[in-house]
Amino acid sequence: MSVAYLVLDVLGAVALNENGDVITKVLYEGSTDEIADKMNRLEAGEPIDEVVKLINELRDRGITRIIVENRELARNLASKVTGVEIRSELPASVGNQYRNNLERYVREVFGMDMQQYLARVYEITVTQTRHKLRKVVEKRDLFVAQAISSVDDLDKILNLISSRVREWYGLHFPELEDLVKDHREYMTLVTKLGHRSNFTVDNLTKLGLSQDRAKRIYEAASKSVGAEMSDWDLEPIRTYAGIYVQLSDLRNKLSQYIDEAMVEVAPNVRELVGPLLGARLIMLAGGLMRLALLPASTIQVLGAEKALFRALRTGSRPPKHGIIFQFPEIFRAPRWQRGKIARALAAKLAIAAKADAFTGNFIAPRLKEDLMKRIQEVKTVYAKPPPRKPEAKAGRKAAEKKAVEKKAHEKRGGRK
């Protein structure tokens, strides 16, 4: 039986016999970018034209078995080329011989000295690494992770701005604080109208308020006890409120982008918990693939790492849920049901993430149906809180007593 060993060099593919002699070769053609792309495809186990051509040539020469040093590549080549047996062996003895006598083969196969060879290999491998990094960055799940992080940043900024504007504008029109609870509506009124004298029924209805609300706000403005402000004083407040409106619009656009992107990136996770919570899970895990590889127990406490490590360090109770607490069925449930619902949800999320990452099959409706059944079962079986254990009560009282004694000791300045 005639055997050939296929060695995949950076500059080409070389076929050697059992003694390490060169049978035939094929050099990679194209630019540095094209060769780097071919190398990445070979590493991933994807056959390229030059390698298929070389194997066909070996078969025509009477070679019946070919050994390659990549299991996935061997499997794909075997399904693509007929008439020859292709197996994997890592490392192959002849492949080691090639690498141990590289200088000889570089001269024989590529007609170069080692300095020229190494310079060319360095150029191609750097480009190859650059292509790999670009491919990783181009994954849509990382785009979604950055978008949801931006939404969280905007939420923090919007809360700060709304608090400041309400306090600042409240010096001029304090009654508006109780009349308008919605932050965006409040900021819009401040931006568009400014001075409280402009809060007329006509102006307010033009901004979308109902007739009744407009009358109430107008009456409050006409009887306001707030300080008088000039247009010069109001201008920075209006500008600041205007920034809130712009950032609020940006947040809405980002939320819409996440919703649409999650349909493509993780449709099962999106259907199960919604686009924003699904995107947060992907962000916390570090990507969809990493989320798919996590066990359900880890998914359950994603976002509660500090509490988990504190529990491990101090021996206190570990958290029952992390970011998935935002799931409506969890945060609306009584505290004694939340852990069980979180565990059920995490199990379904683990399956959904695997389906999104590996198969692409849309199985969310069945997962959601099973989840709802389990949630209903939890609500039925555990409708009443479990009785507290006597030792747990005693332990809690002892801990509370110890905390009180410690606080009193600190107040005395550490004196006994």
**Bigger pLDDT: 147 vs 47:** 147
Pair of tokens at residue 15: 């076929």
Are residue 273 and residue 181 in the same domain, yes or no? no
Q: Which residues of 270-290 are buried (b: 16+ CB within 10 A; e: fewer)?
A: bbbbbbbbbbbbbbbbebbbe
Q: Which helix (H) or strand (E) holds 259?
A: helix 231-265
Residue after which a domain boundary falls, among 228, 257, 286:
257
Are residue 175 and residue 131 in the same domain, yes or no? no
Find the angle CA(94)-CA(89)-CA(70) to the nearest 5 degrees: 105
Q: Looking at residue 416, what is its pLDDT?
A: 46
Are residue 233 and residue 324 in the same domain, yes or no? no
User: For residue 412, what are the domain limits?
Assistant: 391-416
Are residue 126 and residue 9 in the same domain, yes or no? yes
182, 213 Cβ separation under 8 angstroms: no
The CATH code of the domain that includes 287 is 1.10.246.90
Are residue 174 and residue 250 in the same domain, yes or no? yes
Are residue 296 and residue 338 in the same domain, yes or no? yes
Are residue 115 and residue 161 in the same domain, yes or no? no
d(CA 353, CA 304): 20
The pLDDT tens digits of the residues spanning 222-273 come to: 999 999 999 999 999 999 999 999 999 999 999 999 999 999 889 999 999 9
**Bigger pLDDT: 345 vs 404:** 345
d(CA 63, CA 83): 9
* Phi, psi dihedral angles at 123 (to 5 degrees): -60, -45
Inform me whether the pLDDT recorded for 50 exceeds 80: yes
Residue after which a domain boundary falls, among 105, 122, 137:
137
Are residue 307 and residue 225 in the same domain, yes or no? no
Are residue 279 and residue 371 in the same domain, yes or no? yes
Inform me whether the pLDDT recorded for 399 exceeds 70: no
Q: What average pLDDT does the segment 195-213 reach?
A: 93
- Locus of tokens 């080692």: 114
Are residue 8 and residue 126 in the same domain, yes or no? yes
Are residue 305 and residue 207 in the same domain, yes or no? no
Q: Total structural domains in the chain?
A: 4
The CATH code of the domain that includes 155 is 1.10.287.4070
The CATH code of the domain that includes 66 is 3.30.420.220
Are residue 279 and residue 346 in the same domain, yes or no? yes
The pLDDT tens digits of the residues spanning 22-41 come to: 888 888 888 888 888 888 88
Residue after which a domain boundary falls, among 257, 291, 318:
257
Pair of tokens at residue 128: 């190859």
Q: What percent of the chain has pLDDT over 70?
A: 92
